Every structure is written in structure tokens, then in C-alpha cells.
Structure 1
Amino acid sequence: MMSNLHVSIKSTLSLLIFLFVAGLLYAVPTEVENSTHLITYHQSTDNLTLKTNEGFLRIQLMDEDGILYFSFASDSVFIAPSDAVSLKPATASIIIRNTTETLDVRMGNVYFKVAKNPFEIRISTGTDNRDEMVISGPFESPGGSGICLPLATREKIMGGGARALDINRRGRILQLSNQANYGYGWGADKLNYSLPLFYSSEKYLVFFDAPQRATADIGVSQREKFRLESPQKSFNFYAITGADYKNLLKKYTRLTGTQPLPPLWALGNLQSRFGYQSESELTQVVDSMIKAKYPLDAVFLDLYWFGQGEGDYRMGNLSWNEEQWPDPAAMIQNLKNKGIQTLLVTEPYFLTSSAHFKEAAEKGYFGQNQEGKPYVIEDFFFGKAALLDVFKPEASHWFWQKHQALIEQGVAGWWGDLGEPEKHPDSITYHKGLSQDVHNLYGHHWAKMLSERYRKHHPKVRLFNLVRAGYAGSQRYSVFPWSGDVARSWSGLKAQLPIMLTMSMSGLPYMHHDVGGFAGGEMDDELYTRWAQLGVFSPIYRPHGAGVPAEPIYYSSETQKIVREFIELRYRLIPYIYTLAYRQTAFGEPLVRPLIYEQSDDYLVDIYDTYYFGKNLLVAPVLEPGQTSRKVELPLGAWFHYYSGTFYLGGRTVEVPAPLNEIPVFVKAGSFIPTIPLQQSLNQLNTDQITITYYHHESVKQSKDELYLDCGKNAKALEEGAYQLFTFKAENTDKELYIDISHNNGVYLLRPGRRTIVLEINHWGGKPEQVKIDGKNAEFRYLPRNKQTQIEFTMGADPVNIRIR
């Protein structure tokens, strides 16, 4: 008995000592030696191939200005880049100096040094070529292969896609896998739209092109190491260096592309809910919204358009439920007459009981099991279902035909739901490979199918495709991602800022959210109001929810008044917002921007409750209940409070009022802000009168802005030059202000030949002595209370010069 007890105590002590030591090892990770070394190298006309003991690494130049493409293969059989990348490799001279310890390489204008043993690559960054991006590996592990990047002591890492986390992701292990997360709030680290794209505060960007599920270990297993690892034995990645975050994003959008112009109506009020169950219910809501004078541009129909809800979802039918929608074509036309577009939800899942399941199964259009039959997911939420093989051309064509029939009825756009895919077993076989290997590409290829068919069959129609998941480069296919089924809570509201800003810096410019929250919770007027205010200054404004009304007409009269005024503000700002959309398409600039985009100071990485809406507006949403003021980190420069006109000097933290009927919004001094009179919809944008407000401050000696206008519909507007681009310039001396307004005189459908321009000069020192337009004295109006000078004139094809003294 005593002997057994002694053994038991000894065993317990041994276990405790083991656990204690293991805990120390985990708390202070030890460095793992880099065992990779260079064996030999081969130089060709357009690439450099390095043979290491771990495998082969091929290096190519994508862009003369600092984009390197790396492809690793353990067996020298390199895999092709994914569809994320649209840029083709550049042709560049390669100069190599081979020393005992290194290869010193110049590839185009990019310099890097290859250390032979241990193997690592040091890429020169910055304008002085003194900073370095260091890549260790590639390495192989029992779970696959990857790369390793050393982390400096204070280095910050941003990226990884949509995460409800602080923007600095250092100290986390992130699963790079699209994953639905119902009712999430702050702290959710797995969401619908992951991206293997990361920025470093050391001013480099790495895109680990991993369509399969991969992992980013950012200083967890080893504190000073950032590991990107894939289950595959071959992978591609891209290294981009640059002077600042703005420059890095510009290069990344060259690599993966920008988003085509959206239809103009997409920037208006898009109303949705789960869900409108009949034509009569939808008509009643729309008419009530119009009667209450809410601007409105579109409605989304959830799965009730083809089914009847729980117990009878009919997912995969892809045709109207005629009991509840007796004449959809007439209904859609009636809505169009009111300036409202109709959009339909679709899913890639086909229930085994659905109308098209048998046909698609017989034709081999579903992902398959090991027996070559449709892989039926038994525990799918809506019932037993199979997933469409969106990678198979014949299946995509068949799926498109179902969309085409609805387009002919007048459907204006699509809502692609569940595209992670939400339920996705690893062993489904698709035309492109196993589900585990193409998981993150599923929604991307679905979007690609729609985009390519629109370009072929409706080449002048701008596609609107609301999606929940995709991949890097999906922006090229006109996707408008939203952040998934967020909780109706303050935690859910707070989560939207890092999601929206991180995705915007990842080339996905239209990431937005369900205004009001989607899941759980109760009607909360304050939460709904604050969420709507954030939504107005987001790329897309779309209320949506389940269980609780998503429409403002069901809230208190005070809430309705505040929300209506904010929606009206968005509609007046449409020329400004539309110009942001143009700048994104033409130059890759994001619509919403973290502070670090405009001011590349690393301490600003941690501030994301304040952001830029375009380059001229700064927005500080209210994210906590009961707040009537909040602190705002003002970037460098001169700023004016949008509502009060109060002047603030930037580069400091200020406390500003935030009553329920407003949020802190600031305008950068020197900005031109274009607005138009309020319209109820954007179907036919009326720009006969445009107000241009210039925010004057003596510290800004020169400034320049643009205004982009077109018909709002033509997908080839930029290609055909069917647009009007205004340029506003200001030059400020001690006693005089010169403002020049010109445009390219481009022609588009229904463009006014002449416009009434109301130029407002805010914060000019006092009443002007004189105003001249093109050298002639002009009348003006001075409002002393606002220190505003108003000048009205008619503008045709010729430039206009205004001189104020």
C-alpha cells in the first residue's frame, strides 16, 4: 500500500515538474535554428531559381518599383499563381555578384542579398535602400511548408482580412480560412473574409498566396518570428516594399487590380431584412419609406423570394415562389418607376429536395464524393444539400442561365450568400481540386463567373454583387462584401471599424456592415442611431437584420428624424462619395482609410476608432452607449468641425461634443467638398446645380481636388471617356484667394450643357472687398455668422477663374 502511494507521489511530482518546464518553454519560446542553406542557383532571362536543401525557390520581378514574386516547390514543379493576381511578371535585367557567403542580386530596380548558410533573403526597402525586409526559409514542417519573417522588437503587423480585433495582429495565430461566425462581436478572430495579406510597420507587405486553409503565426510560437505556413508542399508569395502604407497599397492594387465603378445607385440607401416574405409586404414597406421621405435606391429580397422559410426553404430552386410573388416582372418595374432597384439573394447550396437538384446531379455540376457522386452535406442548416462546382465551366454556364432569366425580368443585382462556403467538408472534389485546397477561392470564382458573364452579355451594365466571402483580387469582379451576421450589440458595432479599415487596406474597398446589427438583441434606438451614423460614412449604406426591424420607420420619431437627416446628408454628399469611387477604380485609393494611410506614423496603427472618409473628411463614430462627447486623435494639419465650424489644430487629441444627433466629423483645411440638392433616389442624378464648399485656412497656400461625374450606369464610361472630371485649384496669398475650376468637357448621357455653380468660401477672414470672375466684378453674398462668402455663377465648357480680395 505504502509502496504504491510512493510511486503515485513520485509520478505526480514528475508530471508537475514536466508541466512547469513546458509552461516555461511556452512562455519564453526558444529560437529554432534556420537549417535551410543554398546549394546552387540558376539564372534565366526572367527569373532566378535557388536550390536549397528544402526545395526550390524561384524569384521573378513583377514591377520595376518593388514587387517580387516568389514560388517555392519541394520538387522543382512550381504551381501557377492563383487568380488573385492580374499583373504579369516584368521583363528585367538580372545582375548577380556571387561571393563566398552571399549572392548580391539586382533585379530591375530591386536589390536583395541571398545569404547562403543559413539561407535568408534581405530585400532593400525605402528610398535610401538601407532598411531591409528579411525572409528566412522556405522551410518544410510536418504540416506543410512556409516562410518565416523576423520581427523587430517594436514591429507591428496588420492584415489577415476581416477580424474583430485590434488592427495590430502581432501576438496572435490567425487561421487564414473563410469561416462564417453567426452573431459575432468584438474579439472574433475567425470571420467570413480572411486574406493572407499583411503589412509591417517596417514598411513592407507580404501576400502569401494560399487559396487553401493556411496559418499566420505572428510572434506566438516564437516571439520574434512571423511564420506563414500552408499544408501544401508548394506555394507562392509576393513581397512588396515601399516608402509608406499608401505606397504599399498602391503597389498591391497594381498586383491584384482595382474595383470597377459601381452603379451610382449602389451608393444610396439600400434597404434589406431577413426577409420580405411577399410582394404585398415589400410594397407596404417601400411605400411607407417613401411616405416618410427617406431617400431609397434599392431593396434586397432574401430567401423568401423562392421559398417559404423554415420547413420549406426551397434553396436551389432559383425561381419565384408564385404564391407570394404573383407577378415579379410587374413588381420590379413598379419599383423602378419609384427609382428603386430590386436585388435577389442566391446561394451555392442546392437542397436535395430542390427543383434543380436532379438535373444538376445528373450533369455532374456538384462537388463530388470519392465515388464520383454529388457530395451531399447531411448536416447543412437548411437541410441535406450539395455544393455547386463553381470551378467547372459547364456548371458555371448552367448557373448563369438561371441568373440571365431573372435579369431579363429586371433584377438589378445580386446577393451571393454563404460563399465561404459556410459548411465545407474537406474531402469534396471540385473541377479545380479538393475543397481543402481551394476553400478560400470558392466565393472568388463564384464572383468571377458573374463578372465575366456580365462583361460578355451585358457589357455596359455595372455589376453589383453583394458577397460575404472571397479572396484577394475579388475586387476586380465588382464585389461589395459585408462583414457577416454581426450581433445587434455595441460589441458588434465596435467590431466594424477594424474590419472595414483592414479590408479597405487589403484592396477590397467596399467592405461594409449590416446597419443596426443582424442577430439577437432587441430594438435599441440609440444603438440603431449610432450604427446608422457610421453607415452613412461607410462605402455602402445598407440596413439589414433578423428578428428586429431593420427599417428606420419602425423606430421612435426622434430616431427617425436623426437617421433621416444622416441619410439625406449622404445623398447630398454623393458627388464627393462618387469621386472616391472613381479614384479607387483609377488609382486604387481606398474610400475609407485608417489614419496611417495619410500619415505614416506607426503609433497611429493602434487608432482605428477614427478614420478618413476620402482624403478630406475625418470621422469619429460613437461606439459606446450613453456617450455625449468623445476624444478624437486629430492627424497633423488644420481641421474644421463639420457641424460647428470650430477650428482645430491637428497633431493632438481633442475632446469634442457628440450629442445623439451628430458624430464628430472634421473637414481638412484646403478641401473642396462638392454637394448637390437632396434627391429621393440616384437613378437619374440631377447635377444641374452643384455647390462647391472650400474650407479656407491661411496655413494652406495651395490645394487641389476633383469631382467625377458620369451617367452612373455605363460600365465602359472610363474606357470611352464618357465622363466629366472637374478640377478645383486654390492658391492663397496674404490678401487674395484664387480659385480655378475647369473640366475635361467629357460627354455622357443626360449631361447638362451648363450648370449653376454655388461656390462657398468658408472661414475667409471677413467680408471680401471685391470678387472677380474671369476678370469681371461679380456679386457675392457674405454670411458673417459663418464667415462664409457665397458666389453663384453659370458654368459651361470654359474654365472659370475666381479672385477674392
Structure 2
Amino acid sequence: MKKIVVFLVLWSCAIAATAQISTRKYKAHKEVGSQCLMIRVTDGTYRIQFYSPEIVETSFIPEGEQYQKASHAVVMRPELVATRLRATTSTLNWSSKGISVRVQKAPFSISFYYNEKMVLKEKRGYHTKDNLEVLDFAIDADEVLYGGGARALGMNRRGHRLQLYNRAHYGYETHAPLMNYTMPLVMSSKKYALHFDNAPIGYLDLDSKKENTLSYETISGRKTYQLIVGEQWSNIVNNYTTLTGKQPMLPRWALGNFASRFGYHSQREVEETIQRYKTNNIPVDAVILDLYWFGKEIKGTMGNLEVFRDSFPDFEGMVTRLKAKGVKTITITEPFVLSTSKKWKEAVEKGVLATDSTGQAARYDFYFGNTGLIDIYKPAASAWFWDIYKGLANKGVAGIWGDLGEPEVHPNWVQHAAGTADEVHNIYGHDWAKLIAQGYEREFPKVRPFILMRAGYSGSQRFGMVPWSGDVNRTWGGLQSQPEIALQMGMQGLAFMHSDLGGFAGANLDDELYTRWLQYGVFQPIYRPHAQEEVASEPVYRSKTAMAKAKKSIELRYQLLPYNYNLVFENNQTGMPLMRPLFFEYPAAETNTLASSYLWGNDLLVTPIMKSGQQESTVYLPKKTVWFHFITGKRFEGSGFVRVANRPDEIPVFVRAGAFIPKAQLVQSTAAYDANVWNVSYYHDTSVKSSQRRFYNDNGLLKNAFEAGAYEQVQLSSKLGKQGLTIDLKCNKGKQYNYQNKQYNWKLVNWKQRPQAVSFQGKAIPFDWDATTGELTFKVLWNTRKKGRIKIKN
């Protein structure tokens, strides 16, 4: 670092910075080690550094400024990348085995190549405009652009100038250009990601003037961006989440059903609600307490952040009783302390709050009352806030809900220890999640925290943040925007983006909407019906018909625990989202902007029903592929868009040929989940000669169980030959995990004729074959210390 600073000082000159790249002149260049190239130009210096052969960072340091090293997003340490610099009188070519940076000296330009193909080129590069600092790039006329965080704009966000300012949009439906969670990140159908590594507010202009220009505009800060590339989308997502951090594994109970509303007024109301779930045999794993756990009224009590004993006289006993029923308790918190709250005086006296220009606690009005905002950037304030969370955890609270973390109202005159409101606004939720995650790491190091928040920044996934899509309207329009939002955020590292199932805003009682939303929820990351209390969000308070349909969806969610938990592990290891756009695997003009059908993991293709009275759905089945209807088992050959009849109890879901889909025995809580008894379906097709899948398992609670060796991973493989089908079973386990005997109840779909014999470990076993359905069923008991082999002889 010292060498770089000295180098910049030696190269400083008195030439004023100019706004036009056409007047920018190359002056000199120098390699600093093998990882960093410095290029001096007339108005500043470029600092270019490889993180890996597929990630390169470029910073422009204007004349008179110094390089700002600190990043809120990046955690990756640069690898030792083999580079080669070739310099001529007119060009520089600095290359790795992946990305090449090519500089034309006159007229000056910088462009980036991957595998000898141009990916991106600076257009004007750095300049200033309308009191904003700008970085702009030339893009191809046919590029589809994604990113910018959570928005409802359609999958292709090109043509929009996106404000980078986290702000709630209450009651949105199909169009929401600005929402709770923005990110300075763009992804392209050309298979690259461009991340602008700077926290202050600004804009992403995705060619709004139709000049084939992509621009980042900011009020201040770093002029730094990372270019991330890869052969496949999976590589790009892995590279980006390696750069900004992988999502820790959630506890298994987070995949279960949540009871939630705005909100439960009393201890009695909470326990009666959970008892209704138990009486109706509807699985449930958590209950979320909104504002009333710390106050009787919506307004005037925010900031109390202690149990309101009038309504929750035995809070600790309630939490213990719920836990005994397999139900976790989650409590809401906000970063606002109202001047009417019990903690206002303490917060002022201890200097916990952000300040005004005179150094006094900043006060202003918003919906909930007259308030101050906790300045989490003050060490004393951070410690004060964490003590509240520690106290809740010691009471048995299992998860934290952080609401209004944009922050919802954040005047630009407010001052924080780390900068002005506009400088920290977009990272406030990010650093709030960090505060909680680090507190758990110190105080409860073996616990996987559950942190539910609606605002954050690039890389917030590494703190275990679980974001949701805000206060969506309880309408069909509100539902229609949800797959897009979740797919986009999954691409950008936030794989657990989900929605308030059933919709949040408005007193709209529509059982069809409600059940279709909950059916979609089976195949989105978190299953959490939540709404304003005028119309119940919980199925146990809905009509008998709606409750029955909701129950069926929730039961399917629990049966899919083995499949879904493996997706959590896969995301932790590779960054791959749980919900995946079809173009990840099947890039085409018709898939590049498609959100109506998507992949849930590798093997399930889902098409939610998004309109009232919809008798048929248009499903995209990629060409030259084979799929099976998840419920009926009917075989489909992919040919693009196909029409399928809708059914009242489920949405269209298809399974990839060659897939193994394990299902758990139905339980009423994940606490009772048994990973040793599965119903395994194999989707047989003669087009699939061999297939292999792995399924991860641990105790669902221990932090870093995989790294500690406290896990098992079951591998299922198939091979189709002239004599029939062979299925091999193998269990790989960590050093801290014991072998388990397993019972697998098998169902082979699309088995056309009665087999001559079925054997396991060389011994014949009984089987059933249904000529009408083409289903072959049998059971095996497997000692996982040994490899298992099933043979089905024609």
C-alpha cells in the first residue's frame, strides 16, 4: 500500500481534471508487483488489479485525490494471478488466463476482453455531470441488462435510470422502479457482471437515452468497479459471491412454515394461533411477533425494545412452551427510538443516536411518531443495540426481524459517525445485519442466526441476511411481480429473497389469490404468509376450502425438505440461487426476459398461476429436453412454450428427466424431521443414459457443520444399459458424523413394462408395478457404511 501511495505522489501533476475522455491522454504506466497495474493519465491515475483470472477491479483516482481502499462489499483477497504485460508504442495489453485489459494510448481508451472476445469498454470513463461523479461504458445494442437490486420493472431493466436509494414502496404491484433494496450491480446477457463498489447514493443508468451507454452516477466516494465474468452463469454467480461473500447456511427450521401477521397483540393470541395449527395438523416452525411485543399501540412505542408485560406477562414461558411444540419465536426490532419511548432518555444520555449539525440527537417525525435513529456506526451505540439482541436470545428468541432498515425515513441533514445520511443510507441495513451477525459470532458461536431484513447492500448475504420484498399489495398485480424480484435478487447474491405470502397491504379477502400465492410459496426460499391483520394471513383463520388448499401446499413444502435443504447447502458452497432464471441453463431470446417459468434448484421447473380464473398456463419447456408433470407423471418433450391445464390444488411443476427427488415423511415441525426415511422418486427416461445427484444433510442447527465434518452427503446415480437400470447409492460423511441406516421407499416414474426382477445388494426384493401409471415401487433398507446397488432387470 505504501508503495502505491508514493507512486501516486511521484506521478502527481498540476493538469486540471477534464470531463471528456477524448482529452484524456496517456502519460505512463507501471506494474506494482504482478497483481496491480497503474496507468497515469492527464487527469488522474487508473489502478487495475486482478482478484482472479475472472475478476478484475478498476479504480480511477482523479488528480488531487488519494486511493480509497476500504470496501463495504468485497471480502475476497486477491489471488496470485499470473499476468503478462505487453506494451507497444500505441497499446498496453495486461492479461490473465481469463480477462485481458487492453489500453489504447491515443485516443485513450480501456476495454476488457474474455477469451479474446470484447466484454466491455469504457466510453467516457470517469467524468462529472450535474454535480455527480460518473463512470460510463459502451454496451452492445442487443444486450439485456439485469440488476440494480429489488425492482418490479420486468426482467430486462435496460432503458431505465435506476435510483440507488433504499426506499419502501407501500402497496406496490407490477411496477415499482424504486424499492427497499437497491444495489450498484449490473448483469448482462453477454455473461458478465459489473459491480460499482461505492456506498453513497446515486443512480444506475441502463441506457435510458438509448445511446448504448451504461452509467454509474454518485454523489461522492470511490470510482471503483469490478468486472466479473465466467463461462456459464453458475461461474459468474460463484465468482461474484466469492468476491462479496457466501451466504451462511440457514437453520433447517427456516425452511418451514411461519405464522406471522401485523400483528399478535398478546401472549394469549400467539399461543391460541399456534394451537389452531396443531389442532388442524398444519405444520408450523416459527411465529413472528410484530410491534406489539413491546407496546400496546402501533404509534408512540417504537424503541421500547423490551417485553410489554401487560400483554406478554410470561414471555419467557411462552417461548419455552412454543419451543416444546417445535415452534421458534422471532421478534421484530427497528432502528428508530421514539422520543415517547421508554428508552429515549437512555439513548440520548448514552449518545446512541445519530445527530444534527450541532451534535444533538437528530429528531424528526415519521408515521410512528417523533424519532431518533440509532447510529450503528458509533461503537457505543452498536454495543447498546447488541445488548438488546443478546437479551432476547437469552430469553429463547431464535430469530431477529429487522424492519425499516432502509432506513425508512432518513433526512440528508442527519449525521452519522461514518458520514452523512446520504453517504451511509444504502449500507445502513447491511451494517445492521453485520452488527447482529458479529454479535452471534462472539456470544453464540455455534448458532446459525436467522436475520430477516428488507434493506441491505451488495454482499449482505454473507451476514446471513434473509431479505423480503417489502409491503406488496394483496392483489394479483402484487403477486405477478414476485418471481421477477426473487429471480433478480438471487442472481445478485441474495438467494433468500421472498415475499409476504398472500400479499401484505390492503384488506382484500380473495381465497383464490391467497391459495395461488401460497402454492407459489412452496417453490420460493422462505414460506412466510404475512399481512395486515384486517384479513388473516394464517390459513387457520381462513375458510375451510382455503385452509385445506393451504394445508396441502404447506405439507408439500415439508415433504420437499431433503431437496430444499440441499439447495441451501449448494447456495452456501457456490452462490447458486434457489430460484433460477431459465436462461441460466437455456439461454435464448425467449428466455432472457422470462420470469413466468423458472427453475427451483436443478430439477424442478415451476410456473406460478398469476391471474384469477386462469384455466390454462403457458409453460416454457426448453427444446430438446424431457420433463414430467410433478403430480400426474405425464411425460412432455420440450418444444418451447406449451399450454397445460391448471388444477385447483397446485400450480404447474415439472421434473427433469433423470432427476432423483427425495421427499421426507410428513412432520408437523422440522424438529421431527427424519433424514433416514425418504420417499425417493426417480424420473426414468430412455433419453437419459446416466444421471447423478447429491443430497446434503446435517443436524440443521450447528454453525459451519460442513467445515466441522458434522455432515453426510448421499449420492444417487443411475446407469441405463441393455439389461436394465442400475442405481448406485453412496454415503460420504464427515469425520464428526455417524453412519445411519436408511429406509428409501422408491418410485420409478415412466417404467413402461413389468421388470423381470428387482434386486438390492444382489438379492431379489419385492416390487409393485402399475401398468396404468407406469410406476414401479419397492423399498430398500440401506446400511450406509457400504455402497448400495439396485438392479432393475428388463
Instruction: Read off the aligned partner of 1:768 and give its amino acid letter.
Output: P
Change in 2 beyond 3 A, CA 1:35/1:553: farther
* Distance in 2 (alpha carbons) for counterparts of 1:735 and 1:657: 37
Equivalent residue for 1:145, pick from 119, 130, 133: 133
Farther off after superposition, 294-303 or 358-367 = 358-367
Counterpart Cα distance in 2 of 1:337 and 1:35: 71
1:37/1:622 CA distance change after superposition, 3 Å? farther
d(CA) in 2 for partners of 1:102, 1:217: 30
Per the alignment, residue 96 of structure 1 pairs with 85
- 1:527 aligns with 513
2:41 corresponds to 1:56: no
Partner in structure 1 of residue 8 of structure 2:
none
In the other structure, the counterpart of 1:231 is 219
In 2, Cα distance between the equivalents of 1:743 and 1:699?
27
- Matched residue, 1:702: 690
- The aligned counterpart of 1:203 is 191
Equivalent residue in structure 2 for 1:173, among 161, 167, 179: 161
Given residue 52 of structure 2, which amino acid in structure 1 is its aligned partner? D
Letter in 1 for 2:781: T
How many matched pairs? Answer: 769
Residue 108 of structure 2 corresponds to which residue in structure 1? 119
The CA distance in 1 between the partners of 2:372 and 2:407, in whole Å, is 11
2:716 paired with 1:728: yes
Shift of 1:32: 8.6
1:801 positional shift: 0.8
- CA gap 1:748/1:91 in 2 versus in 1, 3 angstroms: closer
What's the CA shift for 1:244? 2.9
Partner of 1:106: 95
Query: In the TM superposition, what whole-angstrom CA distance separates every residue of 1:460-507 from its partner, at most 9, and x where no partner exists?
Result: 111001101011111111111000011111111011111000000001
Task: Please report how far the alpha carbon of residue 76 of structure 1 lies from its aligned counterpart in structure 2 after TM superposition.
Answer: 4.3
The SS at the match of 2:558 is helix
Partner of 2:296: 308
| Residue segments in structure 1 that go unaligned for 5+ positions in a row | 1-30
Structure 2: state its 5+ residue gaps.
Answer: 1-18
Say if 2:764 is the partner of 1:777: yes
The aligned amino acid for 1:731 is K
CA deviation string 1:529-568 (max 9, x = no partner): 1110111110000000002110112222221111111110
1: CA distance, partners of 2:231 / 2:326: 46
SS at match of 1:514: coil
The residue that corresponds to 2:7 in the other structure is none
Once the two structures are superposed, residues 373-428 of structure 1 have per-residue CA deviations (whole angstroms, 9 ceiling, x without a partner) of 11112x21111111111122221111111111111110000100000100011122
**1:245/1:600 contact within 8 Å kept:** no
**Contact 1:704–1:729 at 8 Å: present in 2 too?**
yes
Q: Note if contact 2:199-2:221 (Cα within 8 Å) is conserved in structure 1.
A: no
* Counterpart selection for 1:72 from 30, 46, 60: 60
- Is the contact made by 2:355 and 2:362 (CA closer than 8 Å) also made in structure 1? yes
Q: CA deviation at 1:601?
A: 2.8
Cα distance between partner residues in 2 of 1:32 and 1:599: 41
Question: Distance in 1 between the 2:347 and 2:288 partners?
Answer: 27
Tell me by how many angstroms 1:98 deviates. 2.4
Deviations 1:326-352 (A, max 9, x none): 010000011111110100000000001
Give the structure 2 partner of residue 538 of structure 1.
Answer: 524
The 1:552/1:233 distance shift into structure 2, 3 A limit, reads closer
Q: Which residue of 2 aligns with 1:332?
A: 319
Counterpart amino acid of residue 392 in structure 1:
K
**1:85 maps to what in 2?**
74
Pairing partner for 2:554 from 567, 570, 575? 567
Distance 1:34 1:523 in 2: 61
Cross-structure match for 1:653: 641
Amino acid at match of 1:449: L
| Matched residue SS, 2:366 | coil
Matched position secondary structure for 2:675: coil
Show the counterpart of 1:635: 622
Shift of 1:654: 0.7
Residue aligning to 1:685: 673
Q: How does 1:422-441 map to 2 (within 5 A)?
A: 422-441=408-427
Percentage of identical aligned residues: 38
1:389-468 equivalent positions in 2, closer than 5 A: 389-468=375-454
Alpha-carbon separation, structure 2, partners of 1:34 and 1:364: 50
2:661 is matched with which residue: 673, 683, 686?
Answer: 673
Segments of 4+ moved more than 6 angstroms: none
1:260 corresponds to which of 248, 251, 265: 248
Inter-partner Cα distance in structure 1 for 2:786 and 2:253: 30
Partner AA of 2:30 in structure 1: H
Task: Give the superposition deviation at 1:54.
Answer: 3.7
- 2:347 maps to which of 360, 368, 372: 360
Distance 2:232 2:498 in 1: 25
Shift of the 576–791 alpha-carbon distance from structure 1 to 2, 3 Å rule, reads same
Amino acid in structure 2 at the alignment position of 1:246: S
1:691-721 deviation line (CA, Å, top 9, x unaligned): 2111011111111111111111101211111
The structural deviation recorded for 1:606 is 1.2
Which amino acid counterpart does residue 166 of structure 1 have in structure 2?
A: G
Deviations 1:726-760 (A, max 9, x none): 011111124411111111144768x7731211122
Residue 130 in structure 1 maps to residue 117 in structure 2:
yes
- Of 490, 507, 517, the match for 1:504: 490
The one-letter code sitting in structure 2 at the alignment partner of 1:689 is V
**Structure-2 separation of matches of 1:610 and 1:333:** 42
Pair 1:602–1:197, CA change in 2 (3 A): farther
Residue matched to 1:243: 231
Displacement of 1:672 in angstroms is 0.4
Equivalent AA in structure 1 for residue 340 of structure 2: S
3-state SS of 1:146 partner: strand
CA contact (8 A) 1:151 1:224 kept: yes
Kindly indicate whether the alpha-carbon contact (under 8 Å) linking 2:52 and 2:81 is maintained by their aligned counterparts in 1. Answer: no
Residues of 2 paired with 1:646 and 1:346: CA distance?
A: 48
Q: Which moved more, 1:730-739 or 1:415-424?
A: 730-739
Q: CA deviation at 1:570?
A: 0.6
For residue 154 of structure 1, what is the amino acid of its counterpart? Answer: D
The answer to whether 1:607 aligns with 2:594 is: yes
Distance 1:519 1:483 in 2: 12
* 2:698 and 2:710 in contact (8 A); partners too: yes
**Alpha carbons of 1:233 and 1:338: their partners in 2 closer, same or farther (altered >3 Å)?**
closer
Q: Is the 8 A contact 1:180 1:192 kept in 2?
A: yes
* TM-score normalised by length of structure 2: 0.94
Distance 1:161 1:609 in 2: 19
Distance 1:752 1:276, change over 3 A: farther
- For the residues of structure 2 that align with 1:745 and 1:222, how far apart are their CA atoms? 55
Deviation at 1:111, TM superposition (A): 1.4
> Which residue, 461, 464, 489 being the options, matches 2:475?
489
Q: TM-score, normalised by structure 1?
A: 0.93
Q: CA deviation at 1:765?
A: 2.1
2-structure distance, mates of 1:310, 1:417: 14
Which position in structure 2 is the counterpart of 1:757? 744
Residue 321 (structure 1) aligns with: 308
Which residue does the alignment assign to 2:5? none
Shift of 1:511: 0.3
From the superposition, tell whether residues 603 and 244 of structure 1 become closer, same or farther in structure 2 (CA, over 3 Å): farther
Instruction: Give the deviation of 1:209 after TM superposition.
Output: 1.5
One-letter code aligned to 2:474: R
